[in-house]
Structure 1
Amino acid sequence: MCDRIALCGGPYSNFGAVAAFLDRTAGVDYRFCLGDMGGFGPFPNRTLELLRQAAVICVQGNYDQAIGDGDRDCGCGYTDPRDREFAQISYDYTYAHTAPTHRQWLQTLPQLIRLRWRDRAFLLCHGSPDVVNEFVWESDTADSWIASWLDRFAVDGIFATHTGIPWVRQVAQGFWCNVGVLGRPAHEGQPHVYFAELRWPRAAAIARPEIVPLSYDPQPVVAAMAREGLPTEFQQSLLTGIWTTCAEILPEAERRVRSRLPVPQRS
């Protein structure tokens, strides 16, 4: 019987981190990606091939929808002019280097996946269950908002990504878990990235989500970025673990460079 699943978000064409995720979770029967396969990094086909060959079950993110449909931009939701400029550079590169067969596959992906596990239900989405590119931040999301989503979709937990910052919140009705992204570090001054696991030991009454740090070597990805002419700012972010672009969207609390691992609760 399955006792855990693994969930990643935002590969962003970071083939090194994706390979590390697949290796780390090789013994997990069910693995999911919550979207935004391309963007930021080099060689998008390489990341797509890794995910598809490993039979990772994928949700369609806003980036995947845009690439699949041939839109003019990623629909990421950035408002700062500088961030929008960098996002456009990334999108134009990704679209130009994504094979038509992959673009067709991206069109077929669902925006929501509902899991039934034992007698519980869980929902997988990209931004939120309502809007594919909605930013749901830990600092400004009330418990009541999470509870309303759980109630409305009749689930015990919701997994999302999009923001790039991992976090977990337990409420009476269940939980919200942002699984983080594989594509770039979580603005904490360290180059590792994050994914999530939902563990359900056979003796436990309910499954519990866990944020998992993932170390990998960013140097081959950074070298490929440089060869492909992608911005130095993208390269520096992978090396330093600090967001050099697309940080204006962050609320004040998330803008601080700090650890994203949950603080252990005292018993």
Structure 2
Amino acid sequence: MDKKIEHLKLKGKVLIFGGAYSNYQALTTLKQIADAQNIAPENCISTGDLVGYCAQPEETVQLFKSWGARGISGNVEIQLREGAENCGCDFREGSRCDGFSQLWYPYAQSKLSKDSLEFMETLPDHFSFNYGGKNIMILHGSYFQVSEFIFKSTAWKKKLPNFIETKADVIVGGHCGLPFYHEKDDKLWINAGVIGMPANDGTPRVWYLILDEKNGSLSFKHHHYDYDYKTASAFMQNGLLPQEYARTLVTGLWDNCEILPPVESGLQGYGINL
């Protein structure tokens, strides 16, 4: 595979998050959290999809760029910089998610500056680094398909080839929108969760991940936070974006569970237990 993989050297706490989804308010609060914890910008990593469902794609990309955080390409960045006609999210044709993407994706295209698109061109496909004695790979969907949905309930036999191909001990992924971890045979798959939309748990809070090194070994912990979701939702009341997503910011419930396996679908409205 012709991949752009950037190899990092990181020391100190590492903050990882996914899916800002054009949610400027959520990204602003996360930057404040990182600053308050003295986490260096270069130790703050996005798993992709800076742009998405919400109302401020240009402001979100420019904030991320000025912050100096690192990021990989999600399917949305790839599609936008290539001038594609759809988001490449791998939604089922004719589904509600597919229909909604025909609103938010062209909206985002119309708002992004040349500078933002050129910035997306600089983003690698993956990051890799050694940390806490583990080889860690950052990816979006899977190593083989940027828009592949990988959940906690996804069979290990589907996850395992990613470890074999990348020689990673730990994979931190994005795309699916839900925080989780799955450990087996001394391998660990983590999803940091996303900050642009709630985790379908009935609360407006959003999620990120902290990696740390303690006594030379890796530790990790998911965290959630509150932000000004009412303003983010209000900005979406512009007649151009799906109002169902604007409501989700407030209710914490996804409009539908089309992309979810039965296990994750059945947990809608329940608290995330990590």
Instruction: Calculate the TM-score normalised by the size of structure 2.
Output: 0.89
Match of 2:16 among 7, 13, 16: 7
Aligned to 1:265: none
Match of 2:263 among 253, 258, 261: 253
TM-superposed deviation, 1:115: 1.3
Change (3 A) 1:24 1:177: same
Aligned to 2:226: 215
Unaligned runs of 5+ in 1: 263-267
Query: In structure 1, what is the Cα distance between the partners aligned to 2:235 and 2:225?
Result: 21
CA contact (8 A) 1:10 1:162 kept: yes
TM-superposed deviation, 1:6: 0.3
Match of 1:132 among 109, 132, 146: 146
Q: Is 2:106 the partner of 1:92?
A: yes
TM-superposed deviation, 1:240: 0.1
CA contact (8 A) 1:211 1:261 kept: no
TM-superposed deviation, 1:118: 5.8
TM-superposed deviation, 1:174: 2.5
Q: Pairwise CA RMSD of aligned residues?
A: 1.6
Q: Runs of 4 or more off by more than 4 Å in structure 1?
A: none
TM-superposed deviation, 1:80: 5.2
Aligned to 2:128: 114
Aligned to 2:72: 59
Q: Is 2:193 the partner of 1:193?
A: no
Aligned to 1:229: 240
CA contact (8 A) 1:151 1:173 kept: no
TM-superposed deviation, 1:241: 0.2
Q: Deviations over 1:191-243 (max 9, x none)?
A: 00101111212x2x421222111211201111111136322211100000000
Query: In structure 1, what is the Cα distance between the partners aligned to 2:91 and 2:261?
Result: 13
Change (3 A) 1:73 1:206: same
After TM superposition, list the pairs within 5 Å mapping 1:32-51 onto structure 2.
32-51=45-64
TM-superposed deviation, 1:94: 0.5
- Larger displacement relative to structure 2 (226-235 or 247-256): 226-235
CA contact (8 A) 2:179 2:193 kept: yes
Instruction: Calculate the TM-score normalised by the size of structure 1.
Output: 0.92
Aligned residues: 258
- In structure 2, the residue corresponding to 1:7 is in which secondary structure? strand
- Larger displacement relative to structure 2 (169-178 or 92-101): 169-178
